[in-house]
Amino acid sequence: MSRIDRSWQKFQNLRMNAKTGIFRGVRKAEDATVGHARRFILDRWGNVYEARRNIGIWLSGVGLLIFIMVAHFIFLRSGYVDIAPIRGGTYAEGMVGDISTLNPIYATTASEIAASRLMFSSLFRYDDTGSLSGDLATGYNVDKTGKIYTISLHQRALWHDNTPLTVDDVIFTLNIIKRSSSGAPNSEGWRNIEFKKVDNTKIEFKLPSAYTPFPNTLTFSILPKHILERVPIHSLREDRFSNSPIGSGPFKFSLLQRTKEANKHTVLHMIRNPRYYKGASKVERFQLHTYSDNESLVAALKSQSINAAADVTSDSFGKLTHDPRFNGYTPTVNAGVYAILNTDSEILKDASVRSALRYGLDIKRIKKDIGYNPLSADLPILDSQIASLKNIKISQYNQDKANDILEKAGWKRDVSGIRTKNNEKLILRIALKKDNEYEKVAKNIADQWRLLGIESQISITDTSDPTQNFASLVLQPRDYDVLIYNLSVGADPDVYAYWHSSQAVARGLNLSNYKDGISDDALSGGRSRPKDSLREAKYRNFVNRWIQQVPAIGLYRPAALYVSLKGVQAVNSDMRFILSTDRYFDVQNWTVRTNSVYKTP
């Protein structure tokens, strides 16, 4: 055997010995492990049973200690961490209505007015207390005659295309509104008012006579002159601006999306205006969803297609607020729902009969049936506008006195219990627009008056039906004895339009045809007096006369019923609006998102 062969043989023997040694070592380790497992675990398992009580106590103690530590951590964390609203997200608000134009001077429906508030600015607007507050205007001065007003404007306001907003835009807008050919709804009111540019930040108005509430008329939206100055006035409504406007408000137009659904669902998409002069909004996007009816609106909220629903009916409000997913709010509106009595009616031209109708109504019962406990509206002017009106007492419910007045007026009960006079039955025609809340009110009134021997015929006009025009069929001809109607009182106590005899015409708003010289003098004097004390005296005289004459019965103040998902921060019940759309006063501070945030010390 050669030397090489012998070396190879030794190497093979060495490799075999190594394998054998390794296998032997592994086997010994395995045997040792099994032995230890048998000795220290399997052979002693019975001891676990004997020590189960001690083990259980030990495990329970460890578990309790862990629980205490976790609870302590959570408790301490709650001291410096809170759930709070944060920026971002999309606010999707729904309401009943239609959007046929986005040009604010043609806005008539609630949803069109809402859109204009979100995308456009005005000189003034109403805040969440119902007070007039500057928007583009930083202030105003009025001269000693009460006829000349000078308004100062913000210098930082920009249009959504970053063009500066100036006095020229205000003048341009006023010239459009003033021209009857523009078709603007309120052009008549500007016919005798002059205005001119003082400088780049001031505009002057000259009135034909002193009119203290004039600043309240300056809440119209401002149009961009540089966009519309070349558009013919007669083509303004049809211009593309009406579908894709450029405004100066907190949100910029993005898209108007119309669906082909049966409920006429329309969505106005808007995005945050980062250069808004009052600060960029906290939400990134705002969607205004409109529906043809309340049922579709409620269904959208329940499916969470929207974050909030505005101006829901009282029935829906009651049901939604019992759902733990939602919060309900009842901000009051500066308005009153009245039973307006037609003083030209053959029966109601007798003031004593009108007085009996008031005595025969339990207003508390009417308010209770509505469902959301509204405030009272006993007077034609709100006591929140003139504090001293709270001291004026109005006749309270007294059925016996109502019956006595009717008897003395010659209205006697017949065998059926209905009152008659000169062979004429005491039958009152009650008119109202189709509305669940108003229908409840009308039925309640009819039931109460029936106890007095008065028969009622309730006539309901469905304003969603294009063939039923409530204004032309009911209001203008005064085709009713009693009208259940909402009168928007406004921010100023000037209610000339509703109760002055000059407004008792077909197109006027004196819906009771109330004519009284003493009231006329008080109303005319109240709107022209510059001092609050003088105005208050005039309006107190009017209110006292109104109570004596009973041209209407105050029922309650309506609320802008608002429902939103929990976590949404926007409207609250302490707010007071002139119109429901005044809720957008601080829309830049609304939020839809929440998150854990550290508290500041």
Distances (CA, A) of 557 to 10, 194, 352, 554: 113, 36, 26, 9
User: Which residue is it, tokens 């001809």?
Assistant: 477
> 96 — phi, psi (to 5°)?
-85, 135
pLDDT at site 22: 55
> 381 — phi, psi (to 5°)?
-120, 140
User: Which residue is it, tokens 């495990």?
Assistant: 59
Q: d(Cα 247, Cα 119) in Å, to the nearest integer?
A: 5
Three-state secondary structure call for residue 148: strand
Beta strand 308-310 pairing with 266-272: unpaired
- pLDDT means per 10 residues, the chain with 601 residues, are 56 52 60 60 57 68 77 60 70 96 95 98 95 95 95 95 97 93 84 93 95 94 97 93 97 92 85 96 97 94 97 94 96 96 97 98 94 91 88 91 97 95 96 95 98 98 90 96 96 95 96 98 90 89 97 96 95 94 96 65 52
DSSP secondary structure letter of residue 344: T
Q: d(Cα 297, Cα 261) in Å, to the nearest integer?
A: 13
pLDDT at site 463: 87
pLDDT at site 595: 58
The DSSP secondary structure of 187-233, one letter per residue, reads: GGGGTT-EEEEEETTEEEEE-SS--TTGGGG--SBPP-HHHHTTS-G
Find out whether 165 and 158 touch, Cβ atoms under 8 Å. Answer: yes
SS3 sequence, 170-192? Answer: HHHHHHHHHCHHHCCCCHHHHCC
The DSSP secondary structure of 474-520, one letter per residue, reads: IITTT--SEEEEEEE--SSS--HHHH-GGG-STTSS-TT----HHHH
Distances (CA, A) of 419 to 25, 156, 180, 199, 455: 120, 68, 51, 69, 8
pLDDT at site 159: 98
Long-range contacts from 261-268, C-beta under 8 angstroms, 24+ separation: 262/292, 263/291, 263/292, 263/293, 263/296, 264/98, 264/290, 264/291, 264/292, 265/289, 265/290, 265/291, 265/292, 265/296, 265/300, 266/98, 266/99, 266/290, 268/99, 268/102, 268/115
Distance of CA 420 to the CA centre of its chain: 46
User: Which residue is it, tokens 């008065």?
Assistant: 454
Q: d(Cα 526, Cα 493) in Å, to the nearest integer?
A: 9
Q: d(Cα 547, Cα 372) in Å, to the nearest integer?
A: 27
Find out whether 145 and 210 touch, Cβ atoms under 8 Å. Answer: yes
Q: d(Cα 327, Cα 251) in Å, to the nearest integer?
A: 25
Q: Which residues contact 440 (CB under 8 A, 6 or more apart)?
A: 314, 369, 370
pLDDT at site 143: 94
